[in-house]
Chain A
Amino acid sequence: MIEVNGVTKRYKDTVAVDDLSFEVKPGQVTGFLGPNGSGKSTTMRMIMGLDAPDAGSARLNGRTYGNLPVPLREVGALLEAKAIHPGRTAYNHLWYLAQSNDIPRSRIDSVLEMVGLTEVAKKRAGKFSLGMGQRLGIAGALLGDPEVLLFDEPINGLDPEGILWVRNLLKSLASEGRTVFVSSHLMSEMALTADHLVVIGRGHLISTGTVTEFIAESTSQFVRVRSPRSGELARLLMAEYVQVTSEDDGALSVSGMSADRIGELAGASGIYLHELSTQMASLEDAFMELTRDSVEYHGMSDPDRVAPLSQPLNSGK
């Protein structure tokens, strides 16, 4: 269990994290989502006691990090890809960590095997690829067999096989009843891995809830209708005060009215329908929609606000 209460962090003239509060519960994977620069890493460092919050506090199993009696046995973290001395071997990196927390040395071999680094255990970490460095960081997080795990962007630098491995690892850790908190700026990845989401933008909490709730809350559903008499149908629908947009392919996007009701209206006027389907925006769309105002660094100007919903907002990216 991780509890973050009103945590605030200021740097000279910017507020990196502003009065952020949320809970991360055991037994599920909680995704920590936000665009780059939204304060995810800062928040994680404050949870780990590495950065001191200007206000508020973060607790792990009811204690601040500094008050954990044997930290690595309660909390494991992958904070940065390479919080590792390049001249030290993988084994020795884990050895000094294990030694400090009285973790038996046999555990080092177990975690090295778990992350698939047994064969390069005696190699210097400086020779490792980004992906191997991530695996070593994950091995460090698992070392004390902790109940609470934090992963900051764990799939960075991993190949597809590695990504799949991390995804399964996170899920299996959660299924063992552990608290798993994982940050990412990739909505699509979280859609596959997380059960629960904490979404932030510019240091503010934007949304928390299950992945399904998140989509439902943040995006309006719409109904796609195709009809040979679409102009007539559009006038009919607009008379009911619903929003109607016409698509490039001649279909209509209707929001504010259920598919059933649209079908009934069309039927009553004798208008044939070639297609009538409820559309759900993807999680990625929902994320983009939610964080649009809180993205710190825009690549270009905002996408056109009145763009028809059925055009994916992330197209061309």
Chain B
Amino acid sequence: MTVAITTSTTPDRGHLRVTSVLKSEWVKMRTVRSTMWSLAAMAVLTVGVAVLATITVSGQWNTRSLVDRLTFDPTNLSLTGLLFSQLVIGVLGVLVMSAEYGTGTIRSTLAAVPNRPLVLATKSAVFAAVALVVGEVLSFVAFLVGQALLRSPAPHATLSQPGVLRAVVGGGLMIAVLGLFALGLATIIRHTAGAITAFVGTLLVLPLVVRALPSSIGNPIAKYLPLNISDTMTSVGHALGQGPSLSPWAGFAVVCAYAVGALVVGGVLMARRDA
């Protein structure tokens, strides 16, 4: 029977190949139902909210206040639903890792690929690629559908206007990076419920806490919150009445740093801890 190994020819028997481990993670990701359900939910929420929001604004345009009309950002309005997608991609990012621990699959995985940093890196890469593609597609679809539904006298945006393309592309990028942040949290926490709580807490609860603080303390912190950063990224020009914020790309770099930080801490813990 040992002969069977050598006769079943594969080009390289010497070591594990990164491309094979990547493909393995891809197989893993698309053979559970939670992936398709999450991505479908993202599509419905992002495009659905764009449709609802733009139709509503078009219909109520004449009853809106002057300030509302002057500060109206049609790009940002059509991308409102991305917030829901950020939550869903966060849950999916958590599940991709925590389900391995929850079901014991991690032991099968590590038996096949004992190099733990390689497991985390390939898993993150496959997930990031999926999240980026889906995020960009949804961001563009939501924008185009939303703009098409904005009826005069309400103004609509086009991709050639300054800052609009950045907002739409940036909306998709935020999906991928926040998903990776969630995956990193799950690698640290290893429990689905705990990791989802940490992710939602960072994204949605932290801004409420910061808002409750005196503005002298709250404002310097607020600009580093992922929610504010992603709002800046998907806006064209500054909205009135908001505190100081980072520039879109500086903010993006900060969120990237959160994701990398969570993944590195998770990777170190993963390498050290018993599986």
Q: How large is the interface on B (under 10, 10 to 19, 20 to 34, 35 or more residues)?
A: 35 or more
B8's partner among A72, A77, A89, A104 (CB-CB below 8 A) is A104
Please determine whether B32 and A88 come into contact, CB atoms closer than 8 angstroms: yes
Please determine whether B105 and A145 come into contact, CB atoms closer than 8 angstroms: no
Which residues of chain A from 126 to 182 have any CB-CB distance to chain B below 8 Å in the complex? 140, 144-145, 147, 176-178
B20's partner among A75, A89, A100 (CB-CB below 8 A) is A100
For the complex, what is the distance from the CA of A51 to the CA of B108, rounded to whole Å? Answer: 13
For the complex, what is the distance from the CA of A95 to the CA of B113, rounded to whole Å? Answer: 14
The residues of B that contact A50 with a CB separation of less than 8 Å are 107, 110-111, 274-275
Decide if B64 is an interface residue (CB 8 Å cutoff).
no
For the complex, what is the distance from the CA of A48 to the CA of B109, rounded to whole Å? Answer: 12
With A51-B275, A145-B1, A145-B2 in contact, do A69 and B16 touch (Cβ < 8 Å)?
A: yes
Residue of B with least CB distance to A140: B108
The residues of B that contact A177 with a CB separation of less than 8 Å are 2
Chain A nearest CB: distance from B269 CB in Å? 13
- Indicate with 1 or 0, residue by residue over B5-23, a CB within 8 angstroms of chain A CB atoms: 1001010111111001101
Decide if B213 is an interface residue (CB 8 Å cutoff).
no
The residues of A that contact B20 with a CB separation of less than 8 Å are 99-102
Main secondary structure of the interface of B (DSSP, over half): helix
Decide if B62 is an interface residue (CB 8 Å cutoff).
no
Chain A nearest CB: distance from B121 CB in Å? 13
Please determine whether A97 and B10 come into contact, CB atoms closer than 8 angstroms: no
For the complex, what is the distance from the CA of A69 to the CA of B109, rounded to whole Å? Answer: 15
For the complex, what is the distance from the CA of A73 to the CA of B25, rounded to whole Å? Answer: 19
With A73-B13, A102-B10, A104-B8 in contact, do A96 and B114 touch (Cβ < 8 Å)?
A: no
B112's partner among A66, A92, A101 (CB-CB below 8 A) is A101
Chain A nearest CB: distance from B9 CB in Å? 8
For the complex, what is the distance from the CA of A100 to the CA of B32, rounded to whole Å? Answer: 17
Please determine whether B21 and A87 come into contact, CB atoms closer than 8 angstroms: no
Decide if B71 is an interface residue (CB 8 Å cutoff).
no
The residues of B that contact A144 with a CB separation of less than 8 Å are 5
A78-86, A203-211, A241-249, A287-295: which lies at the interface: A78-86
Please determine whether A70 and B13 come into contact, CB atoms closer than 8 angstroms: yes
Decide if A257 is an interface residue (CB 8 Å cutoff).
no
Chain A nearest CB: distance from B257 CB in Å? 30
Chain A nearest CB: distance from B130 CB in Å? 15
Decide if A107 is an interface residue (CB 8 Å cutoff).
yes
Please determine whether B24 and A97 come into contact, CB atoms closer than 8 angstroms: yes
- Indicate with 1 or 0, residue by residue over A98-138, a CB within 8 angstroms of chain B CB atoms: 01111110110000000000000000000000000000000
Residue of A with least CB distance to B2: A147
B32's partner among A72, A75, A85, A145 (CB-CB below 8 A) is A85
Residue of A with least CB distance to B99: A85
Residue of A with least CB distance to B106: A83
For the complex, what is the distance from the CA of A144 to the CA of B8, rounded to whole Å? Answer: 10
Which residues of chain B from 3 to 60 have any CB-CB distance to chain A below 8 Å in the complex? 4-5, 8, 10, 12-17, 20-21, 23-25, 27-28, 31-34
Please determine whether B104 and A99 come into contact, CB atoms closer than 8 angstroms: no
Please determine whether A52 and B16 come into contact, CB atoms closer than 8 angstroms: no
For the complex, what is the distance from the CA of A176 to the CA of B103, rounded to whole Å? Answer: 33
The residues of A that contact B109 with a CB separation of less than 8 Å are 100
The residues of B that contact A37 with a CB separation of less than 8 Å are none
For the complex, what is the distance from the CA of A269 to the CA of B104, rounded to whole Å? Answer: 70
With A97-B112, A145-B4 in contact, do A70 and B107 touch (Cβ < 8 Å)?
A: no
For the complex, what is the distance from the CA of A282 to the CA of B99, rounded to whole Å? Answer: 45
Decide if A45 is an interface residue (CB 8 Å cutoff).
yes
With A83-B108, A101-B16, A140-B108 in contact, do A49 and B114 touch (Cβ < 8 Å)?
A: yes
With A70-B13, A101-B16, A145-B1 in contact, do A85 and B105 touch (Cβ < 8 Å)?
A: yes
Decide if A191 is an interface residue (CB 8 Å cutoff).
no
The residues of A that contact B115 with a CB separation of less than 8 Å are 66
For the complex, what is the distance from the CA of A45 to the CA of B216, rounded to whole Å? Answer: 53
Closest 3 CB pairs of A and B: A100-B24, A92-B31, A51-B274
| 30 A–B contacts, CB within 8 A, in A order | A48-B107, A50-B107, A51-B274, A51-B275, A52-B272, A69-B15, A70-B15, A70-B16, A71-B111, A72-B111, A72-B112, A73-B5, A77-B111, A82-B104, A83-B103, A85-B99, A85-B100, A89-B31, A92-B31, A96-B28, A99-B20, A99-B23, A100-B20, A100-B109, A100-B113, A102-B12, A102-B13, A102-B17, A106-B8, A144-B5
4 extra A-B contacts, CB within 8 A, seeds A102-B13, A145-B4, A145-B8: A65-B114, A69-B13, A85-B100, A100-B23
